Amino acid sequence: MTQNSTPSTTAQNAMWGGRFAAGPDAIMQAINASIGFDQRLYAQDIRGSRAHAAMLAATGILSDSDAKAIGEGLLTVLSEIEAGSLQFSVALEDIHMNVESRLKEVIGEPAGRLHTARSRNDQVATDFRLWVRDQCDAAITGLQALMRALLAQAEAGADWVMPGFTHLQTAQPVTWGHHMMAYVEMLSRDVGRFSDARARMNESPLGAAALAGTSFPIDRHMTAAALGFDRPMSNSLDAVSDRDFALEFLSASAICATHLSRFAEELVIWSSAQFRFVALSDRFTTGSSIMPQKKNPDAAELIRAKIGRILGATVALFTVMKGLPLAYSKDMQEDKEQVFDAADTLMLALAAMEGMVRDMTANRPNLEKAAASGFSTATDLADWLVRAAGLPFRDAHHVTGSLVALAEKKGVDLPDLTLEDMQSAHPAITSEVYSVLGVHNSVASRQSYGGTAPDQVRVQVARWKEKLA
């Protein structure tokens, strides 16, 4: 059964009682209604209402028969919404009134008792908190799936050499596995942020009513437990006016999207004809309408751009909340669209990045060739001068710099300099120096904890595989 289309003025104002003599005009209705977006809270709204009705019956505020009718009726409404057979009414403003109105059509007079000892203020705070909590769980699941994809790449390429960059200039050789593991670490902090935010938001606003609590003998601990919260919120004013949980979710999403954007930028660069470090699959690339040779990394580019939407949503909600006095203000209706869009955007970006990482193929020969260019083992030469020749590091740095200049002048790389060339910079250099100038020797020597040596990479891969098992 569907909702009636245009209710009368009396029906429009039933929720406000006798205070208002005339109904809102079309503009007021348009700016006031939130059903266009808060209908996404229907499952949380019905879950909260069923917990509230059960508590009202347990405390003797509501009869068992009324509570049973409400509980079963709400399940009917839920099934109608999920089936797409219930049309939402803008005149009823929001998801709460749409659900309650349909419940009344289904079960009649007992539906009017459901709202005893609560307000739409604590109701929406509960619904929204439940929804954001679910999104934290979804984000964690998406992040862990991406981390597993990165682990697979890292394990396969634990000993593949590639250039490590600073300022996008060749710095030192690293391993492909080490580079992949850097993003595993980064994303693990995102998991931590979403987990921390979830733990902090896991308190129930339900029962705070409009702002001051209620005179009915309710059991807020019962409803909190029924909804999976750790406890009820301790201050009714804070309970209805707090949106920290949404701000924390957005903040964690913005940081996470920044990490995805950074990696996306690398994939764009790496897949270019100038680098050819990776090949992205056809599933996550597109062609050109006029240039048949093109294979554009569109998915990576779009992920790179998504941070704009998520960061914009974060700034928008901070701006909404920054000047609101306690307790509830209608401004807070503007809290949901930003969070909904940011959550959708983040989940899409995570899924796309996971797909790209699982499908991409690293070009090992090109990686190794690039790793050996740009005097990438200069630091290894300086370290050897400290260890083998006893030079202070600053002196070793100077000697190495002069040899880099010499190699540059000759148009060769450091390993191509003759021993005579080397000794012209410092007489203590021996043929042993060539053992540290190969890129494989370089990465193998970086055995410090967290270093790029293949053995260290494998240690970290094993640690994370166990944590994510």
Active centre residues (catalytic)? 167, 288
- At 149, the amino acid letter reads A
- The C-alpha angle 437, 390, 455, rounded to 5 degrees, equals 45
Give the whole-angstrom CA distance, residue 36 versus residue 181.
42
- State how far the Cα of 95 lies from the Cα of 127, in Å rounded to an integer: 10
DSSP calls for 95-135: HHHHHHHHHHHHH-GGGGGTTTT--HHHHHHHHHHHHHHHH
Write the Ramachandran bin of 46: left for phi over 0, alpha for psi from -120 to 50, otherwise beta: alpha
- Is the separation of the CB atoms in 198 and 248 below 8 Å? no
What is the three-class DSSP state of 57? helix
Residue 232 CA to residue 183 CA, distance in Å, equals 37
Q: By three-state DSSP, how is residue 278 classified?
A: strand
Question: Beta-carbon neighbour count of residue 385 at 10 Å?
Answer: 26
Upper half-sphere CA count for residue 271 (Cβ side, 13 Å): 26
Structure tokens at 211: 């702002």
Reading the block at residue 59, the tokens are 């405390």
Question: Amino acid identity, residue 165?
Answer: F
Query: How would you classify residue 141: left for phi > 0, otherwise alpha for psi between -120 and 50, otherwise beta?
Result: alpha
Q: Is residue 173 helix, strand or coil?
A: strand
Cα(89)–Cα(95) distance, integer angstroms? 9
E strand spans, 114-258 = 161-166, 169-175, 203-204, 231-232
H-helix or E-strand spanning residue 236: helix 236-241
